[in-house]
Amino acid sequence: MAASMSGVLELKCEEKVNSSKILVVGAGGIGCELLKNLVLTGFKDIEVIDLDTIDVSNLNRQFLFRKEHVGMSKAKVAKESALQFNPDANIISYHDSIFSSEYGMDFFKKFAVVMNALDNTAARNHVNRMCLAADIPLIESGSAGYLGQVTVIKKGLTECYECQLKPPQKSYPGCTIRNTPSEPIHCIVWAKHLFNQLYGQEDPDQDVSPDTEDPELAGEAGKSALEQESKENSVGGIERKSTKSWAMQIGYDPHKIFNKLFRDDIKYLLSMDKLWEKRRPPISLDWENLPDTVEGSSVGVIHDQRLWSIKECATIFGKCLGDLKGQLSQQGDGGMLVWDKDDDIAMDFVTSAANIRAHIFGIPSKTRFDIKSMAGNIIPAIATTNAIIAGLIVMESFKVLKGQIETVKVYHIISSEEGETEGQLQCRQILSDFNIANGTRLKCDDFLQNYNLIITIATQVTFIVDKLEEDKEFDVIGDLADLQPVEESEKPSNDEAEQIGW
């Protein structure tokens, strides 16, 4: 009998696989593996959407693509390649953004399951919300190096993507970035801030000039004089104004900008004696007298993996200043540029500026390849992780299609590297941990959707006995078993308990 029932369930699952319409969002590392798995498993009605085009750097892990596909649509090439595994499958591809108004609630309602294979939070949030609104199961996934996760999201049954705790983004103290960098990443962050100050949206939190409010300067004699000088003038007699305004006024002259950033500002830092009592002091540079030596050998090394001399960095820095000035002028009055790791000029700017600053502070230089990884927060992708994640997505889809969503699991693949996952797995906390109890009112805002509501927290007893008034905004009813123990004197009588379902 058991064997017979198992056979019926397997047949039902096979029928569901053959007939269910599936949406795959993303055709990159996980997406390629997922599409291959789906068609080999027997899924025949698949739609895939991806806005990206194929880059050479994708070829080492996105195995549906070949060298001749570079520059072509990922979604379209992935479709054609996946069909070679199963020509009977019907795959529709969209080279488009999932944010497009064409992919609204009616679009999502067509599918039995939506599978995310995305690489950015904004798109994940959007798909999560669309699936909740359409009441369609979503299988969320992601990978980062040896790490990976798969989660099934179903409205009313599981927490959604935005409810899940995310590891905090690493940040660095402003005084370290501006005054006392000690690692390559500090110089890279400074260079990205410089790009924004010169060409983008000016942000006071991204100032690149010396920081006179550095906590280490507390009590230093002459500090007040330095502060006054910083307000009135900069070293060299340049009037203090916004970096962008000053750069535009001098026509983005590379000599003046270089000497301001890497000579005058460094001399100003050196005048803050207390900072260098226990540190190696920086050395100032001058455009007219730059070292032309390179650390290590660069023979036979490709361009992105070759270290640049400081003189070469200065030359590239100057050229980038002019090229970016031209891009900015095309934007018209009030125009801004946004730094992009895939923009060669913007990437050269950060590489050259970061390495010049690193040299000044005695920090080892980095290749353009390394700086791109750090500046773009790129975690090297591992093909085997993507393959495992794609396999788990398909396994979880079987449970969803068979109506066994209560059996789904949350998968976290943990790195074997010591300390790599430190701080990523955090304990969940419940409302009572924050002293939120019966009668507490919570105001919730969703700034993205310009939507807000007020939630009144109530126990089940209060909800049934008090009968909420119609004008109350929203109520969350908790299970009494999850609350604090009830004193004997507060417990209802047997008759009351039977009425309220105690």
Active-site annotation, residues:
175
Strand 147-153, strand 411-413: pairing: antiparallel
* HSE of 263, CA atoms in CB hemisphere, 13 A: 15
Nearest CA to 410 out of 229, 182, 149, 176 is that of 149
Name which of 410, 343, 332, 331 is nearest 375 in CA terms: 343
Contacts for 6-12: CB closer than 8 Å, 24+ residues apart: 9/402, 12/402
The position carrying tokens 């002293």 is 435
Question: Burial of 456 by CB count in 10 Å (0-12 exposed, 13-18 middle, 19+ buried)?
Answer: middle
Quick one: which of 370, 349, 355, 350 has its CA closest to 301? Answer: 370
Cα of first residue to Cα of last residue in the chain, in angstroms, is 40
Tokens representing residue 385 in the block: 């992780």
Tokens of 220: 């230093």
Give the residue among 250, 264, 388 at the shortest CA–CA distance from 325.
Answer: 250
CA distance 129 to 159: 12
Q: Which of 84, 47, 48, 94 is nearest to 64 (CA)?
A: 84
Q: What is the chain's Cα-based Rg?
A: 29
CA distance 322 to 318: 7
